[in-house]
């Protein structure tokens, strides 16, 4: 069989429950692995699971991230449906298929890659990448790779990486788990070095404030990582006639406990 390994360990919502059921049946049939509804893949002894996978001639392991070393363009191509849909939606709504700015949060950067993809060579579009400054870029608790990183290797990829002078990866910090990462995908490292993209770092406080603001304004509870992108509105000036596209990369229901604790709601 061709097995795609999803390491997230999360139960799937809605009609994707059927996919999970089929997934479990396939694991039982081809690898003799059984687990009940209380188990997820990450609960299995990882060494045993990998033994089964390595023994399969039809197994390939690809990370669900832009930091994938073996085929770095694969995830970006999959995610490019985001900018593809953006183009036809803008054409319908605005009479043109490009905005003035595209803005997305960047940790590993797969959601951002999807939004940027069809605009990478379109100089009419300004690309803005928003990273997590955590408790401040110089606080020692940050994930602002563009400000703090230098060339290094992580997960087999050469990219910008937060590291010590002797090359040891340093611990990142962000209130958003999705941005709590010490590097960026190589695509974003190139966008930074080539100055094709503008990089902004947003501290926890501003991101959390925008999570609350967006919820109140639009009735959309954004993931905390997504709230970082919207906070770019506070640190950068935009013209009243400019068209700005934000990538709402995640829903905030999984972050509700963090919001509630942070704002003492």
Q: What is the secondary structure of 93-123 as a DSSP string?
A: HHSSS--SEEEEE-SS-HHHHHHHGGGTT-T
| CA distance linking residue 172 with residue 231, whole number of Å | 20
DSSP percent split of the chain into helix, strand, coil, nearest 5:
45, 15, 40
Show which of 19, 42, 61 is a domain's final residue.
61
| CA distance linking residue 208 with residue 36, whole number of Å | 37
Asked if residue 158 and residue 227 are part of one domain, the reply reads yes
Q: Indicate the average pLDDT of the chain.
A: 83
Asked if residue 172 and residue 230 are part of one domain, the reply reads yes
Total number of domains constituting the chain: 2
Asked if residue 137 and residue 43 are part of one domain, the reply reads no
Asked if residue 133 and residue 26 are part of one domain, the reply reads no
DSSP secondary-structure letter at 71? -
Mean pLDDT of 93-107: 97
Does some domain include residue 144? yes
Instruction: Quote the pLDDT of residue 31.
Output: 60
Does some domain include residue 220? yes
Cα 251 to Cα 13, 51, 109, 116, 153: the distances in Å are: 13, 35, 17, 20, 31
Instruction: Quote the pLDDT of residue 55.
Output: 63
Asked if residue 83 and residue 28 are part of one domain, the reply reads no
Asked if residue 99 and residue 5 are part of one domain, the reply reads no
| CA distance linking residue 229 with residue 233, whole number of Å | 8
The CB density around residue 71, as the number of other CB atoms within 10 Å, is 12
| CA distance linking residue 67 with residue 80, whole number of Å | 16
Nearest to 73 by CA among 248, 237, 190: 190
Beta strand residue intervals within 114-188, DSSP E: 126-134, 150-154, 157-161
pLDDT at 83 over 80: yes
Does some domain include residue 67? no
Contact 9, 65 (CB under 8 A): no
Asked if residue 5 and residue 104 are part of one domain, the reply reads no
- What's this model's pTM, rounded to 2 decimal places? 0.78
Range of the domain at 97: 72-263
CATH number at 253 reads 3.40.50.1100
Asked if residue 108 and residue 22 are part of one domain, the reply reads no
The CB-based long-range contact list for 137-143 (8 Å cut-off, 24+ gap) reads 137/201, 141/173, 142/172, 142/173, 142/174, 142/201, 143/107, 143/172, 143/173, 143/174, 143/179, 143/180, 143/181, 143/182
Helix (H, G, I), strand (E, B) or coil at 153: strand
pLDDT at 51 over 80: no
Mean pLDDT of 96-106: 98
Find the DSSP H helices in 6-98: 16-31, 46-55, 72-79, 81-94
Asked if residue 187 and residue 230 are part of one domain, the reply reads yes
pLDDT at 230 over 60: yes
Instruction: Quote the pLDDT of residue 9.
Output: 41
pLDDT at 16 over 70: no
Helix (H, G, I), strand (E, B) or coil at 62: coil
Does some domain include residue 111? yes
Asked if residue 87 and residue 184 are part of one domain, the reply reads yes
């Amino acid at each position: 069989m061709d097995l795609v390994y999803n390491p997230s360990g999360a139960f799937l919502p809605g009609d994707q429950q059927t996919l999970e059921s089929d997934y479990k049946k396939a694991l039982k049939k081809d690898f003799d692995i059984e687990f009940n509804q209380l188990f997820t893949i990450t609960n299995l002894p990882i060494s045993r699971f990998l033994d089964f996978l390595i023994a399969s001639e039809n197994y390939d392991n690809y990370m669900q991230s832009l930091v994938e070393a073996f085929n770095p363009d694969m995830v970006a191509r999959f995610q490019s449906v985001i900018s593809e849909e953006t183009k036809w939606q803008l054409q319908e709504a605005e009479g043109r298929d490009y905005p003035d700015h595209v803005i997305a949060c960047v940790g590993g950067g797969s959601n951002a890659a999807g939004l940027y993809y069809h605009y990478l060579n379109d100089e009419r579009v300004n690309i803005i990448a928003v990273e997590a400054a955590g408790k401040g870029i110089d606080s020692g608790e940050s994930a602002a790779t563009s400000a703090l990183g230098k060339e290094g290797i992580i997960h087999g990829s050469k990219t910008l990486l937060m590291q010590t002078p002797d090359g040891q990866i340093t611990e990142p910090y962000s209130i958003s788990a999705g941005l709590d990462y010490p590097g960026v995908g190589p695509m974003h490292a190139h966008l930074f070095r080539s100055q094709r993209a503008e990089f902004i770092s947003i501290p926890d406080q501003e991101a959390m404030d925008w999570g609350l603001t967006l919820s109140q304004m639009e009735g959309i509870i954004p993931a905390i990582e997504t709230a970082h992108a919207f906070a770019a509105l506070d640190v950068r000036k935009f013209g009243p006639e400019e068209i700005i596209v934000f990538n709402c990369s995640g829903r905030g229901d999984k972050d509700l406990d963090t919001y509630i604790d942070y704002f003492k709601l």
